[in-house]
Amino acid sequence: MEKDSKSIKPIKNVPLVEQVEDHIMQYLKANKFKTGDALPKEIELAQNLGVSRNVAREALSRLRMLGIIESKKRKGMVISEPDLLSGVERVLDPDFLGEGTMQNIFELRLVLEVGMSDILFIRKKSKDIDILQDIVTRESQDPECTDDIKVRLAYEIEFHSHLYRMSRNNTLQRFQSMLLPVFHYMMEQEARLELKPKKGSISHQDLVDTIKNGTPRDFRENMREHLTPHYQKLIRQKS
């Protein structure tokens, strides 16, 4: 008996627009719509679903936002190839994120940069090493770099951003550009601390040397060491 009553799920109050959205998705899947295929007209969809045009339009707008459909001149609505991250990008404004979410995103960045080593080694080109070396050389010669946190932060971002670019993985790259505002915010917060976190013992120059002459394993462990100040923050938060 207990099992039976547990299997009864509460009725969810799904808004009409979401129901319509789901119906359209089911319809597209059942009829094996492919990228570029034209959708029925808004008015037809509304009639077939038995809803108002306003509701159909709103559902279609949501699907457009998800990147599942797009409007083309003359052709009307067609299926487009959704990108993993379409629709997310504009959310990542620190003003609109809670502390918890920002912390999660910051951790994600630490995970990605330690984890991407093998992919960097598979895809690296000699041009990439030149670009990284150029950033590090400019950084080391810039007199403002020791005093001005903003200048230091700019080099930091330039260097790490190029690593994401080297991955030649669009999802990783878009991810990184989404994370940037949050990264900025967290770094500026850290800079304002009385007790500044100590720098890791591995510099950007060491990382360039490793990606040039080392192994994926070396780079992974050196990147982990480079990020030590941030990891120490996580360890402190735990205790």
**Interface residue with its own copies, options 16, 38, 43, 84 (CB under 8 A):** 84
**Interface residue with its own copies, options 108, 138, 189, 199 (CB under 8 A):** 108
Contact 16, 55 (CB under 8 A): yes
Does 114 bind its own copies (CB under 8 A)? Our answer is yes
Nearer to its own copies by C-beta: 97 or 151? 97
* Amino acid occupying residue 221: E
How would you write 85-134 as a 3-class SS string? Answer: CCCCHHHCCHHHCCHHHHHHHHHHHHHHHHHCHHHHHHHCCHHHHHHHHH
Which among 110-118, 125-133, 140-148, 197-205 is the span making contact with its own copies, rule CB under 8 A? 110-118
**Interface residue with its own copies, options 3, 6, 12, 29 (CB under 8 A):** 29
**Interface residue with its own copies, options 113, 128, 139, 209 (CB under 8 A):** 113
65's CB contacts (< 8 A; 6+ apart) are: 86, 87
| Whole-number Cα distances in Å, 60 to 68, 81, 84, 232 | 9, 15, 19, 47
- Judged by phi (left if over 0) then psi (alpha if -120 to 50, else beta), residue 167 lies in alpha
Q: Which residues make up the interface to its own copies (CB under 8 A)?
A: 17, 25, 29, 32, 35, 54, 57-58, 61-62, 65-68, 79, 81-88, 90-93, 95-98, 100-101, 104-105, 107-108, 110-119, 122-123, 167, 169-172, 175, 216-217, 220-221, 224, 231, 234-235, 238
